[in-house]
Amino acid sequence: MAARPEQVLFQDRGETLDEEGFGMLGRMMVALGEIEGCREFAALIPEVRTNLVYARERAKGRGDVLAIDGRITVVGGLPRAAGKVKFGASSHMARLVIELRKKDPSVRAGIDFAWTPHLSAWLEQYCGEKGWVFSVIDRHGEPEEIREAEGASMPWKVAEAVRAAGGKVPKIFYETGAIGKEPVSVLVGRDPVEVAAQACEIARKYHGPG
C-alpha cells in the first residue's frame, strides 16, 4: 500500500500521524533549533534538565503532548536535546500544560528552566515590564494527603499558581523546592516556537550586560 499522507506510520508501527501532528512536529523542530542555538539558555538548564512540550488542540493525556525524549541537557556549553521529539515523552510538563489548559485553552506549550532567588526576582520585574502574569506554587502549602496520592498533585499545583496570581493563569511561575525536589521555573504560551523565543530572550537578557 502507498501511505496516505494523512495516515502514516509514526514511531511505533500502527500509530498514525495526522495533519495537526505534522505541523506540530515541524514547530517543535524549529523551537528546538532555537533553544539548541542559544548559548545563554544553557546556563538556565537545571540539574533535572529542561523539557519543552506542545499539546494537541484536544489533548486529553500525555500521549497527546509532544516532548523531547531524554529532555534537553548541556553538551559542550550549548543546550542539546538528548533524544527525539515524540508524543508521550514527557510526564510532569505534559500533565502541567494539560491541567493549565482547563483554565486557559490558549495555553498549549511550555518549557521549564532553573530557579534561583536572584533569577526569580529578575523574572518578576521582567513580567511586570511585559505585562505578563507572574506566580508561584509554594509546595509548603500542599496538603499532605495530596502530596502522597499518586497523580493528585497537579490539579492542586495549577489551582495554587492561579490562586496566587489573583485568579489569572500566569505566563511565568515557579515551583519552590522541597525535600529531594529541585525548584524550577516554568514559562507557557501558545506554541513551542513562541515559548522557545521567549525563553531564549529571557536567557540573553538575564545573562547579558546590565
Binding stretches for a second copy (CB under 8 A): 1-5, 8-11, 17, 19, 21-27, 29-30, 33-34, 47-49, 69-71, 73-76, 80, 82-85, 177-183, 189-191, 193-194, 196-198, 201
Give me 88's grid cell.
Answer: 508521550
Nearer of residues 64 and 69 to a second copy, judged by Cβ = 69
Nearer of residues 1 and 166 to a second copy, judged by Cβ = 1
- Rounded to a whole number of angstroms, the minimum distance from the CB of residue 152 to a second copy is 20
Nearer of residues 42 and 158 to a second copy, judged by Cβ = 42
Nearer of residues 80 and 103 to a second copy, judged by Cβ = 80
- Rounded to a whole number of angstroms, the minimum distance from the CB of residue 184 to a second copy is 10
The CA-based angle 88-135-180, given to 5 degrees, is: 60
Q: At what angle do helices 192-207 and 19-36 cross, to 10 degrees?
A: 10
Nearer of residues 9 and 163 to a second copy, judged by Cβ = 9
Give me 18's grid cell.
Answer: 495526522
3-state secondary structure of 71: coil
- Rounded to a whole number of angstroms, the minimum distance from the CB of residue 10 to a second copy is 6
* Calpha distance 73→47 (Å, rounded): 9
Ramachandran quadrant class, 84 (left: phi over 0; alpha: psi -120 to 50; beta: rest): beta
Other Cβ atoms closer than 10 A to 210: 3
- Rounded to a whole number of angstroms, the minimum distance from the CB of residue 118 to a second copy is 15
- Rounded to a whole number of angstroms, the minimum distance from the CB of residue 58 to a second copy is 18
Give me 60's grid cell.
Answer: 486529553
CB 27 within 8 A of CB 191: yes
